[in-house]
Structure 1
């Protein structure tokens, strides 16, 4: 895959970055419209831990990864943004790029942004994919979440996923992370998901201590049209460590034809 194009986009009064992989004009089959898939990162991180998944999906669909305002190399907003603020940014930025209907994929806190976007403009989201969703309603304290994340990084993550996550945490900085953490902990994911009209796929690494099996089963059951997929041999950052399996699951769930031929293959952790 060619390196994605980066667009700096202001929407809803905030500045973010969108990384875009589309089929170039003049390439084989370029006249046929391709479906769009949009990837949303979680708290403290950026598009970087979505790169493997982005590259695999881009073989079969126009793919967009967003660095939300305050994350990655984007400037910090003057005030803390709510989940609804981030959802409004996502929808506005994509509209500026002419992406009016798409499959929306979120990871960790990104699942909250994705759910909220699907509630704000349901007609634009054809399918919703929630990878490692937060926050488990039975473990709604910062201490419980921190312990789960610590277990995940020590026992279930690869060196490369840990390197991506923790260098992005450093870039984010403790102040913005903690401000956003309060927002994440206060969002009632389980109460919001029944209002989503799009089909929902919940994906978790089978060893993920952050998004437990019970929690993910309950979320999928709360969705109007929900299903759960567990991927063996990985933890919370499932889209990096098992990118091939996750990409294949998203394409199958969305009914997107795999133009690359064979099923997507993952890369070594």
Structure 2
């Protein structure tokens, strides 16, 4: 995926905070590295990038697989991060398989507005099958339920109440494993809640993270 399905959330947050949307290598039409890049390596690159923003500790917001990157980045660079927001985090340990995730994604597509499905479909095409399959292997093996326990900063888990990919029990498990965490549900929304209800998601993020970063 790319910044395109975070655009409405970006705009909602930008009315209150400085916001940067970041596409990582191989996504959003960016060139693909000529070698494999796992979660730890991608997070190191993200950590180096946020270090150049000169914004002080940041609130890292990631969706779906992006939740893995922001959690790992915060574990690696806790001094650079004030808060982690994991929206629709994957992959649910109860069905951590390519087939299970594909079925959940198909169910989700029937619950999303057509405009969101169009963004998702075209971004998958831009990503390409070889890079997708390489990255999904890392997504399915990354132990996010263990890494959230290593966080030294607060965690906010956000899910749509109709999300078939990031189930309620799974999100509660992530919340409970972290030392400091909250869980917010967006009523009536599916996996891409940040695009279908950007104001609600932005309000949840601001309400939970502003106190952590206010001098």
TM-score per shorter chain, which class? Answer: over 0.9
1:254 deviation in Å? 1.1
Q: Which residue of the partner structure matches residue 174 of structure 2?
A: 219
Structure 1 distance, partners of 2:203, 2:96, is 32
Checking the alignment, whether the CA contact within 8 Å between 1:94 and 1:100 is kept in structure 2 is: no
Give the counterpart of 2:184 among 205, 229, 243.
229
Partner SS for 1:64: coil
Give the counterpart of 2:106 among 139, 150, 164.
150
Q: Which residue of the partner structure matches residue 117 of structure 2?
A: 162
Checking the alignment, whether the CA contact within 8 Å between 1:69 and 1:75 is kept in structure 2 is: yes
Aligned length: 211
Q: Which residue of the partner structure matches residue 55 of structure 1?
A: 11
Higher relative contact order (CA 8 A, sep 6+): 2
Render the CA deviation track for 1:55-114: whole Å, top value 9, x for unaligned. Answer: 111111110010000101211001121101111111111222323410011100000000
Give the counterpart of 1:128 among 76, 84, 102.
84
| Structure with greater proportional helix content | 2
Partner SS for 1:255: helix
Between structure 1 and structure 2, the one with the greater Rg is 1
Q: Which runs of 4+ in 1 moved over 6 A?
A: none
* 1:59-208 equivalence runs, <5 A: 59-154=15-110, 156-208=111-163
1:197 deviation in Å? 1.2
Structure 2 distance, partners of 1:248, 1:99, is 21
Residue ranges of structure 1 left out of the alignment (5+ in a row): 1-44, 257-269
Residue ranges of structure 2 left out of the alignment (5+ in a row): none
Structure 2 distance, partners of 1:78, 1:99, is 31
1:195 deviation in Å? 0.4
CA RMSD of aligned residues (A): 0.9
Render the CA deviation track for 1:119-162: whole Å, top value 9, x for unaligned. Answer: 101111111111000011111111111100100001x1011110
Partner SS for 1:202: strand
| Structure with greater proportional strand content | 1
